Amino acid sequence: MKTNSNLKKLLEKGEFIVTAEIGLPVSANTETLKKNVEKIKGKVHAVIASDGKNAGVHISNLAAAILLQQHNIEPILEISCRDRNRIAIQSEVLGAASLGINNILCTAGDHQKLGPFPQSKHCYDLDSTQEIMMLKQLRDEKKLSNGQELNESPSILIGTEDNPFSDPLELRIILLKKKIKSGADFIIARPVFDTSKFSEWIKALESNGVTENVPLIVSVLPLKSKEMAQKIKERPGYYLPDTIFNRIEKASDAQAEGIKIAKDIINKVKGLKGVKGINIIAIDNEDAVAALA
């Protein structure tokens, strides 16, 4: 595999990785984003340039990735299948690689029914597994999805995401193994709030040989308020146990308590087999990165 990704080099060295995901503006004005980027600079190895987070409108993932590069931060470019067909995905990857953006995170994307534009139409020409397979062919065989040959292949590291709390567990393992077989080089797990349930998922991955050769980066999401905790609790695909919700609800300083909870989770998951890093989801909470990185 050919890639100039610094993230790949760090993972190969066995260094524990810290990445982050921060909020992108619903505006062409990026001054606040630039200030937030400066807050996390030097504290993380890479930052995810998200793609239509929560099925909403933000500055584009590619614009965010370029801004991160300008601040000497390595971007991980998320490319979701929700809004693009295979032509657009391949074009975006080639364009990103031409700009030296070497890390691609393949995702399905949050469904538009969950966001502020439920009337919008999705694409889903490919699912995320097919996206991974297509990008691996692009990189390793120098071919587009229709078999057309390229003069030069893009230098990319291909990532995927998975949800440890989506049932049934057996099906999740099958799907994740399929993603890895298709060419995923690393995995980013959705936010963890229940370490016991997460440990069961890790054991299942281990017994199936999933994390043997593919590094796992675990997401943590520091809670800021009871209202935020309630939204997370109600959101499909997330699992927030009552014990955590009650800690936030009863705390005199919910934000400080959220940092404590996130630290507890990080300390518990760091020692689990296959866990090679953490991803701090600090959307509109960028100060939390300094406290957790």
Question: What percent of the chain is modeled with pLDDT above 70?
Answer: 99
Whole-number Å distance between alpha carbons of 16 and 277:
5
- Given a cut of 80, whether residue 4 has pLDDT beyond it is no
Domain of residue 147, CATH code: 3.20.20.220
Number of domains in the chain: 1
- 49-72: pLDDT as tens digits: 999 888 899 999 999 999 999 999
Whether 118 is in a domain gets the answer yes
- 84-128: pLDDT as tens digits: 999 999 999 999 999 999 999 999 998 888 888 999 999 999 999
- Given a cut of 80, whether residue 137 has pLDDT beyond it is yes
Neighbours of 119 (CB within 10 A): 6
Which range, of 1-5, 34-38, 247-251, 271-275, averages the lowest pLDDT?
1-5
Whether 1 is in a domain gets the answer no
Would you state the pLDDT for residue 213? 83
Whole-number Å distance between alpha carbons of 204 and 84:
33
Whether 201 is in a domain gets the answer yes
pLDDT range class, residue 223, cuts 50, 70, 90: very high
Neighbours of 286 (CB within 10 A): 20
Whole-number Å distance between alpha carbons of 227 and 120:
27
Whether 158 is in a domain gets the answer yes
Per the structure, the complete domain to which residue 20 belongs is given by 6-292
Tokens 């996206």, located at residue: 131
Query: In sequence order, what are the residues at sequence separation of 6 or more whose Cβ sits closer than 8 angstroms to the Cβ of residue 4?
Result: 100, 102, 155
Burial of 246 (0-12, 13-18, 19+ CB in 10 A): exposed
Would you state the pLDDT for residue 2? 58
